[in-house]
């Protein structure tokens, strides 16, 4: 037997233990180990029943995704399908009990369903999350799951990919029993119990496959939901097709359909991009010069300065993680306003069933208020979220420096300001860091962690670790104007304005990017965040504007008219009382007036040009950021854009997207734009170099000694 799979036999019960840390991924080697164990069991009449169990913290969390990535890149030709092995287990002729704990995901659940009985510890999660990787279950999951849980449940699990609790899995028939105490002991006892009983083969259980009429409704609703909620994704629709084949075809035929759809998805750009995003989210947690064993500080109490849009959301983030928060404002009225919006947000979440009322009540108890800086004396961390002004922020930091305990971390939520400048207002620059949350802070997963010139490794390691506890994706970035996300977003939105100035309509620009997959168009996004935020920053930084370069002007003109976006009921669009946008003819006529006054020739602009100009601007600025080391790797930029700016995950992020369509192609197009549109389009030196060398951003990152 191999180290990865152990086989033991005690009193007629065979136990197969999978031991492939950290998550018992079902790699080819594990599959071979299981096959070897099955061969030994098949020929041993003394074995009356079998138990499969995972060593460590979980059952099998799925097939080995790394092997897929290699298969897609042609590094390995073909991975032996799991299907024949699962049929052998199903046909073993002696009851097989699958003992689950932690997670049984993807190939792990498919293996479990090939068994005859499934038991689990409470708290176990099962699921078919393959669609999140742009693929579908490929080892019979779309054929066995509807037979166990019914068509509707199987469609929900395979098309949406969300994990299901053990309690829910028991109710829907995926599990046969929940057990307490030691799982192996319980499993062996269960195996003894069923040893003499029949071994029901999941593939022969057709009673839950429903009628064509029932299923037609289920599939139609699921396809509509997939098209609206998982816009642009191929895999959810493929998963539904595969389950439909299970309701119409014999098991073997259904498996063939599944195999065809699986392979089609696997070799799609979408799957490559989504697997890039999966590993990327794990890669960004690794900081080359801040090793895993770097000591961290405890963060058990937090202070927040400013209870406005961001301060309130940030308070909820910490409370949701069980960390007590002390919220400070300038006066009682401002505090009451801040608390009221927090309570309203929680009430909405409870109404939508995201939280129980008990959860909400407990969280609200963790949020306390003050008007006195002095009360931050015991805080482990203080996050400042006051107005975006350097003078005010330095004032706040000098106050915090005066009252906070020596090893407290002082963090700022600034979107654009210089972290080192803010830190210079304190005597402890090594304890100052940027924690840049995104609005709404209690919803957006991204947390840009901004490293100052003096920020200590302990403080960085503490904040990277804290981001996981806060259920955020923490990305470490360097200190520059706008850091990574906003620094790229500025040019992206500027280009969107230029396109409007040259004749594209507001809706044409937003629709083109929406069709490309962005969660929202650039102009509508401006209305959401508030056009005045950028206007204030542009006014404050007029002196930094490069001379001789074209400046976008329409948004400033809209702000001068008080059109700040959703918050004023009008911006690029006009909004009804439910903040529903509609095109505003007044804006179109203002634009025509302003562009004719500015003598800007008008022309028809294709959706393709709109997308290229906006997305290639992101890539060009991303290349500068990467070369300057403001982002550690190209994937860090991608993870920032997938989790903070609504970039479609199935395109992998701006840098991955450029690598996918070809860096040379992007470079050549940017050179064309530079010719026609001016020096905002000067290609980034790194982009030019990679294009000339035929290299990718991923290669650049890996060559720079940090993974892609
Ligand atoms: N394959 C390879 N590596 C994996 C892996 C997998 N399935 N799952 C996790 N890892 C690595 C991960 O990259 C990280 O590595 C380490 O394990 C710890 O993971 C045939 C086709 C289980 C909930 O999609 O959702 O089965 O960074 O940091 O936060 O139909 O991992 O330390 O080097 O995420 O505790 C379907 C994927 C596969 C589940 C644990 N399965 N995994 O979360 O730890 S496709 C999935 C997860 C499939 C079949 C199909 C999570 C987790 P490193 P981690 P965690
Ligand atoms: P906001 O105007 O909604 O809230 C700022 C709050 O700070 C106000 O309630 C104000 O009363 C309070 N305040 C000012 N001085 C104070 C003091 N001395 N003590 C305590 N409270 C004080 O602003 P916001 O949108 O929440 O932005 C706050 C910070 O977060 C800014 O730096 C901004 O750039 C940044 N940010 C904003 C967003 C966004 O989308 N709004 C996103 C990320 C980061």
Sequence-ordered strand ranges (E) for 80-123: 96-100, 103-105, 117-120
Nearest atom, ligand 2, residue 384 CA:
29
Ligand 1 shell residues, CB under 6 Å: 22-23, 25, 61-66, 82, 103, 105-107, 110, 129-130, 133, 135, 137-139, 141, 279, 282
User: Ligand 2 in contact with 415 (CB < 6 A)?
Assistant: yes
Closest ligand to residue 71's CA: 1
Residue of minimum CA distance from atom 8 in ligand 2? 308
Nearest atom, ligand 1, residue 108 CA:
26
**Out of 130, 258, 555, 612, which one is annotated catalytic?**
130
Element (H, E) at 436: strand 432-437
pLDDT tens-digit map of 281-314: 999 999 999 999 999 999 999 999 999 999 999 9
Pocket probe for ligand 2: among 311, 326, 327, 419, the residue whose CB has the most ligand atoms within 8 Å is: 311
Distance 555 CA to ligand 1 centre (A): 44
Closest ligand to residue 83's CA: 1
388 tagged catalytic? no
Distance 66 CA to ligand 1 centre (A): 9
Question: Rounded distance, CA 503 to CA 581, Å?
Answer: 21
Torsion on CA atoms 598, 604, 609, 611, rounded to nearest 10: 80
pLDDT tens-digit map of 88-124: 999 999 999 999 999 999 999 999 999 999 999 999 9
* Nearest of 202, 249, 239 to residue 218 by alpha carbon: 239
Answer for the pair 503, 604: CB distance below 8 angstroms, yes or no: yes
609 tagged catalytic? no
Distance 307 CA to ligand 2 centre (A): 7
Low-confidence ranges of the chain (pLDDT < 50): 706-708
- Exposure on the CB side of residue 518, measured as CA atoms within 13 A: 23
pLDDT at 302: 98
Distance 521 CA to ligand 2 centre (A): 25
Sequence-ordered strand ranges (E) for 329-420: 367-370, 381-384, 409-412
Question: Rounded distance, CA 363 to CA 669, Å?
Answer: 51
Closest ligand to residue 266's CA: 1
pTM over 0.75: yes
Answer for the pair 654, 638: CB distance below 8 angstroms, yes or no: yes
Residue 215 CB neighbours (<10 A)? 20
**Out of 42, 70, 80, 110, which one is annotated catalytic?**
110
User: Ligand 2 in contact with 309 (CB < 6 A)?
Assistant: yes
Burial profile 432-449: b = 16 or more Cβ within 10 angstroms, e = fewer = bbbbbbbbebbebbbbbb
Distance 652 CA to ligand 1 centre (A): 18
pLDDT tens-digit map of 407-433: 999 999 999 999 999 999 999 999 999
Answer for the pair 646, 493: CB distance below 8 angstroms, yes or no: no
Question: Rounded distance, CA 679 to CA 668, Å?
Answer: 15
Q: Are strands 325-328 and 302-305 parallel, antiparallel or unpaired?
A: parallel
Residue of minimum CA distance from atom 54 in ligand 1? 282
Question: Rounded distance, CA 411 to CA 463, Å?
Answer: 10
Distance 287 CA to ligand 2 centre (A): 29
User: Ligand 2 in contact with 305 (CB < 6 A)?
Assistant: yes
Quickly tell me which residue has 């490293």 as its tokens.
451
Question: Rounded distance, CA 317 to CA 335, Å?
Answer: 18
Pocket probe for ligand 1: among 28, 61, 259, the residue whose CB has the most ligand atoms within 8 Å is: 61
Element (H, E) at 424: none
Element (H, E) at 96: strand 96-100
User: Ligand 2 in contact with 385 (CB < 6 A)?
Assistant: yes
Distance 385 CA to ligand 2 centre (A): 4
Distance 414 CA to ligand 2 centre (A): 9
Question: Rounded distance, CA 582 to CA 67, Å?
Answer: 47
User: Ligand 2 in contact with 386 (CB < 6 A)?
Assistant: yes
* Nearest of 466, 445, 414 to residue 642 by alpha carbon: 445
pLDDT tens-digit map of 133-144: 999 999 999 999
Question: Rounded distance, CA 300 to CA 222, Å?
Answer: 43
Residue 502 CB neighbours (<10 A)? 17
Distance 658 CA to ligand 1 centre (A): 26
Residue of minimum CA distance from atom 28 in ligand 1? 282
Residue of minimum CA distance from atom 20 in ligand 2? 329
Distance 7 CA to ligand 1 centre (A): 24
> Rounded to 5 degrees, what angle do the CA atoms 594, 595, 596 make?
95
Nearest atom, ligand 1, residue 61 CA:
22
- Exposure on the CB side of residue 441, measured as CA atoms within 13 A: 27
Nearest atom, ligand 2, residue 331 CA:
11
Nearest atom, ligand 1, residue 286 CA:
27
Pocket probe for ligand 1: among 56, 60, 65, the residue whose CB has the most ligand atoms within 8 Å is: 65
Residue of minimum CA distance from atom 10 in ligand 1? 23
Nearest atom, ligand 2, residue 307 CA:
9
Residue of minimum CA distance from atom 1 in ligand 1? 64
List 409's β-bridge partners, or say none.
381
- Exposure on the CB side of residue 38, measured as CA atoms within 13 A: 22
Closest ligand to residue 308's CA: 2
Answer for the pair 14, 52: CB distance below 8 angstroms, yes or no: no
Nearest atom, ligand 2, residue 414 CA:
32
pLDDT at 74: 64
pLDDT at 539: 84
What tokens were used for 552? Answer: 């976008």
pLDDT at 511: 98
pLDDT at 707: 46
User: Ligand 2 in contact with 486 (CB < 6 A)?
Assistant: no
Nearest atom, ligand 1, residue 262 CA:
21
């Amino acid at each position: 037997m191999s180290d990865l799979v152990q086989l033991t036999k005690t009193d007629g019960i065979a136990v197969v233990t999978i031991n492939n840390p950290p998550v018992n991924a079902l790699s080819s080697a594990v599959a071979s180990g299981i096959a070897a164990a099955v061969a030994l069991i098949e020929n041993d009449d003394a074995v009356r029943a079998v138990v499969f169990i995972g060593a460590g913290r979980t059952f099998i969390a799925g097939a080995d995704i790394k092997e897929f990535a290699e298969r897609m890149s042609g590094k390995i030709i073909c991975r032996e399908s799991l299907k024949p092995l699962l049929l052998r287990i199903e046909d073993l002729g002696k009851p097989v009990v699958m003992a689950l704990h932690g997670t049984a995901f993807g190939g792990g659940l498919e293996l479990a369903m090939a068994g005859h009985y499934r038991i689990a510890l409470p708290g176990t999660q099962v699921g078919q999350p393959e669609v999140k990787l742009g693929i579908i279950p490929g080892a019979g999951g779309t054929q066995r799951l509807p037979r166990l849980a019914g068509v509707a449940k199987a469609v929900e699990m395979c098309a949406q990919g969300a994990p299901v609790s053990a309690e829910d899995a028991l109710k829907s028939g995926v599990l046969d029993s929940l057990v307490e105490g030691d799982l192996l002991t319980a499993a062996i006892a269960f195996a003894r119990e069923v040893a003499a009983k029949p071994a029901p083969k999941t593939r022969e259980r057709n009673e839950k496959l429903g009628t064509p009429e029932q299923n037609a409704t289920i599939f139609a609703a699921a396809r509509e939901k997939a098209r609206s909620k998982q816009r642009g994704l191929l895999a959810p629709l493929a998963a539904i097709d595969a389950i439909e084949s299970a309701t119409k075809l014999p098991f073997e035929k259904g498996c063939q359909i599944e195999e065809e759809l699986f392979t089609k998805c696997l070799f799609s750009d979408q799957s490559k991009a989504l697997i890039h995003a999966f590993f990327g989210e794990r890669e960004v947690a690794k900081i080359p010069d801040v090793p895993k064993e770097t000591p961290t500080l405890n963060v058990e109490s937090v202070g927040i300065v400013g209870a406005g849009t961001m301060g309130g959301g940030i308070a909820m983030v910490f409370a949701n993680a069980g960390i007590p928060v002390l919220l400070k404002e300038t006066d009682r009225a401002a505090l009451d306003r801040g608390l009221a919006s927090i309570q309203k947000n929680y009430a909405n979440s409870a109404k939508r069933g995201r939280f129980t009322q008990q959860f909400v009540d407990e969280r609200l108890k963790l949020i306390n208020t003050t008007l006195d800086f002095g009360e931050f004396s015991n805080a482990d961390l203080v996050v400042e979220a006051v107005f975006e002004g350097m003078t005010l922020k330095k004032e706040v930091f000098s106050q915090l420096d005066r009252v906070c305990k020596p090893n407290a971390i002082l963090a700022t939520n600034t979107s654009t300001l210089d972290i080192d400048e803010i830190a210079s207002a304190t005597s402890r620059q090594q304890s100052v860091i940027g924690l840049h949350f995104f609005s709404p802070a209690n919803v957006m997963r991204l947390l840009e962690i901004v490293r100052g010139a003096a920020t200590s490794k302990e403080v960085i390691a503490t904040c990277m670790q804290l981001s996981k506890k806060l259920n955020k994706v923490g990305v470490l970035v360097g200190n520059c104007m706008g850091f990574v996300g906003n620094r790229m977003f500025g040019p992206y939105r500027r280009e969107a304005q230029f396109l409007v100035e040259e004749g594209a309509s507001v809706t044409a620009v937003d629709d083109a990017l929406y069709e490309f997959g962005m969660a929202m168009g650039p102009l509508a996004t401006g209305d959401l965040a508030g056009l005045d935020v950028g206007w204030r920053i542009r006014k404050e930084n007029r002196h930094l504007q490069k001379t001789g370069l074209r400046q976008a002007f329409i948004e400033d003109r809209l702000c001068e008219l008080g059109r700040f976006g959703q918050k004023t009921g009008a911006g690029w669009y006009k909004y009804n009382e439910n903040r529903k946008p509609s095109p505003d003819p007044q804006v179109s006529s203002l634009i025509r007036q302003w562009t004719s006054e500015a003598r800007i020739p008008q022309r028809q602009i294709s959706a393709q040009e709109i997308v290229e100009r906006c997305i290639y601007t992101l890539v060009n600025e991303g290349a500068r950021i990467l070369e300057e080391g403001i982002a550690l790797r190209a994937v860090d930029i991608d993870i920032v854009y997938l989790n903070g700016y609504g970039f479609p995950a199935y395109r992998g992020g701006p840098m991955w997207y450029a690598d996918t369509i070809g860096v040379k192609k992007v470079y050549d197009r940017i050179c064309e734009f530079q010719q026609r549109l001016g020096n905002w389009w000067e290609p980034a030196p790194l982009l030019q170099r990679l294009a000339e060398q035929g290299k990718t951003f991923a290669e650049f990152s890996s060559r720079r000694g940090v993974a892609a």
